[in-house]
Amino acid sequence: MGTALQITKRAFMIGGVAVGGGMVVGYAYLRDKPGTAGFEDWGQKAEALNAWVKITPANEVVIAVPHAEMGQGVYTAIPMLICEELEVDLDSVRVEHPDLDGKYINEYPIKHEVGLESGPILWVIMRIIAKMPMIATGGSSTIRGRYDDARRIGAATREMLIAEAADRWGVAPSECYARKGQVHLRGQDYMFTYGELAEAAALRDMPSDIPLKEKKNFHTVGTPQRRLDIPAKVKGEATFGIDVVLPGMLYAVPRFCPHHGGTVAAYNIASVETMPGFKAVVPITDGVAVVATSTWRAMKIANALDITFDPGDGAGVTHDTVAADLRQALTGDTIFTAEEDGDVAATFAASDDVFEASYDLPYLAHTCMEPMNATVRVQGDQAEVWSGSQSPTLAANGVEQGTGISTSNVTTYNTFLGGGFGRRAEQDFVRAAAEVAKAFEGTPIKMTWPREEDVRRDIFRPAAAATFKATLDEQGGVSALHARVALQSVMAGVGERFGLAMASPETDKTMEDGLKFSPYHFASRLIDKAPYDNPILIGNWRSVGHSHNAFFMESFIDELAHHSGQDPFAFRAKLLQNAPRQKNVLAHVARIANWESPIGAGRGRGIALHTSFESTVGEVAEVSVAADGSFTVDRVYCVIDCGPVVNPDTVKAQMESGIVYGLTAALYGEVTFEDGAAQQSNFTDYEALRLYETPEMIVEIVESDDRIGGVGEPSTPPIAPAVTNAIFNAVGIRVRTLPLMNVNLRIA
């Protein structure tokens, strides 16, 4: 018997007869929070459950997955966890994306952000969130938050079915066992299918003890499994937001003011109203939308529209002013301390060898393969939205912002996502479609952003700059480190757009991601942050603050190693004296990369290690640099420790995906501005990594029993410093700024 977890009936509820006499298993997020018994909304929601597992009389198992499937494999991982305990084969289940409902709120990111597992403060926060309710996919949090919950759901269903079968046979439940969607009687040929038991089992009381399997008994979790979403995608049957077609729909294309902080000054409808397919020009937030009889016609009309923009607050914001503002912020008066341990200033004052380095990184766009889009229909005080959103909650909120219709009257239909990366956790693309749909009541409006609008009006990863100082002790360790990072606050920007007054640069943890609580041992350390602001819209980008802070930290650690005459791997291993998990990953990646073996003239290896989203990833990049400065990234070795592994095939795929995404940014990623307007607009001037440029990737997983970590983002942060450290190893040129396309690597 595996681990028995106590689950109260307040946590699990088994629904009555449903799906044509079958069984519905629901799950309410009402775990032991102080005071919830007296909170009326919680009590009501506990009785109005949406299903996680449905079993029909025909023995069909349907699993609800409330998270967005954007290529990271959650439509497979969550069913794997449920199937493991439910004792059904993964290829025998079907996945549904459920309605927006408070039963599916994901508490984990909220708990992780506030750093609380329980208590009155968390209860107050959850009480506020329950009013929305917040359902979102991001922060590599899905499996971290659902790992135990999904197994409990499967176990609860299994035990109810076993209990029903046992009663029918007149035996104790211990005389029965479940296997492959059936309940068997030990030592006999008697068997019931789940479908035969489902209707009666749905009426049974919830057992107080739900036995969960021990890891050694897993047959599905931890084994490579084919993704459930792939067949439909390969056959062209999958529906993404851009694929939605409804009877009688019209098509819209936006033209936003290209100047962030600017407005539309004027437009001339007469310049386009005779063009084929033209229907209307509708004012929307920060721009206008052209409505036509097809997307192609709407795009042609939008391009032809005579429109004048006022740069407004964006006037004067350029690449040079951004760089100057970042440098000024680093030496300014607005500094917030993120972490302080020991007397760094005194240590520096007593040292005659304080090593310093400065770094900077540009704005980055998301460039999801599927550009932003949404379809909205408004009918009276009701609305519907079809979109590939990372959060149906925010999609509904976008409709409310665009129409004034309460989110409680908005029905959401979430589709597959052609890339999320944090961009589809925003609500602007839904709001814009809703604003047009309001003007065409009763008619579905499908708005598709041209790639140029998708890039220019992106909600960018902020530009960032950092200064690092350190001094070493006699043993070659770090006796003091001071790291300061300057950038716009992502959470303050998100908070302003979503109406979260509590978000501010001072409380923004993303600014210090990967710097605070570093696993490296520094005898004394000071980590602080310097916020600044301008009109450029900024938001979450794959791995958020880790994406720039890993480059800063791992570049500086590498520089310190060389400054002190130590091998970069050995130096890191020394600093990881109190972090065995990270040290193990570092040693593993160095071993598979043959770190100590010669690599040849003009070639180099670079190593980087970073912990993010409770996973640790080590990467070694191998590069070749020619005398004319051209270079290739030949090979990347990657090792991840994410704790328990659900689907190793998906973990490896996500490591490769994150490496490619991060390498694209390292080589080519840069958005520059003139009067607050992005100067890049498409893949012609905001390039992506081509197949011929993609390095060979060797990925290995170090499975452990530590707390489970995320896998969607952790491989992105280490790749840029691994490559730039490899370049230094090859030709002795230290890269402190990206993208590499702007760096002269010509060997003198």
**What 3-state class would DSSP assign to 494?**
helix
Does residue 128 carry a pLDDT above 60?
Answer: no
Q: Is it the case that residue 50 has pLDDT exceeding 50?
A: no
**In terms of pLDDT, which residue wins out, 37 or 331?**
331
Q: What is the pLDDT of residue 2?
A: 42
pLDDT surpassing 70 at residue 531:
yes
Cα separation, 621 vs 346, in Å, equals 37
Q: CA–CA separation, 677 vs 660, rounded Å?
A: 27
Q: What is the pLDDT of residues 175-188, one digit of tens each?
A: 999 999 999 999 99
For residue 333, list its beta bridge partners.
none
Tell me the pLDDT tens digit for each residue of 442-472: 999 999 999 999 999 999 999 999 999 999 9
* pLDDT on residue 20: 53
Which CATH number, 3.90.79.10, 3.20.20.150, 3.40.50.150, 3.30.365.10, labels domain 319-363+460-742? Answer: 3.30.365.10
Q: pLDDT-derived band of residue 129, with 50, 70 and 90 as boundaries?
A: low
Residue 3 has pLDDT above 60, yes or no: no
Sole residue written with tokens 């007054």: 501
Tell me the pLDDT band of 747, cut-offs 50, 70 and 90. Answer: confident
- In the chain, where are the structural domains located? 4-234, 241-312+372-448, 319-363+460-742
pLDDT number for residue 363: 98
Cβ neighbours of 37 (radius 10 Å):
10
**Cα gap 602→594, rounded to integer Å:** 17
Q: Give the pLDDT of residue 116.
A: 53
The pLDDT value recorded for residue 28 is: 35
Q: Helices 648-668 and 716-731 sit at what angle, rounded to 10 degrees?
A: 60
Examine the pLDDT at 666 and tell me if it is beyond 80.
yes
- Does the fold of domain 319-363+460-742 match that of domain 4-234? yes
- Judged against a pLDDT cut of 60, whether residue 6 lies above it is answered with no
Answer whether residue 209 shows pLDDT above 90.
no
Calculate the dihedral angle through the C-alpha atoms of 196, 202, 203, 209, rounding to the nearest 10 degrees: 110
What distance in Å separates the CA atoms of residue 641 and residue 585, rounded to the nearest whole number?
Answer: 7
Side-chain half-sphere of 616: how many Cα atoms within 13 Å?
25
pLDDT in tens, 70-120: 999 999 999 999 999 999 999 999 998 887 766 677 666 555 555 555 555
Q: Is pLDDT of 144 > 70?
A: yes
pLDDT at position 35: 26
pLDDT for position 119: 56
- Structure confidence by residue, pLDDT tens digits, 474-523: 999 999 999 999 999 999 999 888 876 667 899 999 999 999 999 999 99
pLDDT computed for residue 503 by the predictor: 76
For 4-234, which CATH class?
A: alpha beta
**Which pTM value belongs to this model?**
0.92
Neighbours of 538 (CB within 10 A): 23
708, pLDDT greater than 60: yes
| Percentage above 90 pLDDT, the chain | 80
- pLDDT (average), residues 189-214: 87
Going by pLDDT thresholds of 50, 70 and 90, the confidence category of residue 39 is very low
- At the topology level, CATH places domain 241-312+372-448 in Aldehyde Oxidoreductase; domain 4 (3.30.365)
- Give 261's pLDDT tier (boundaries 50, 70, 90): very high
Q: What is the mean pLDDT of the chain?
A: 90
Query: Is pLDDT at 4 greater than 80 in this prediction?
Result: no
Give the pLDDT of residue 131: 56
- Is 37 a residue whose pLDDT tops 70? no
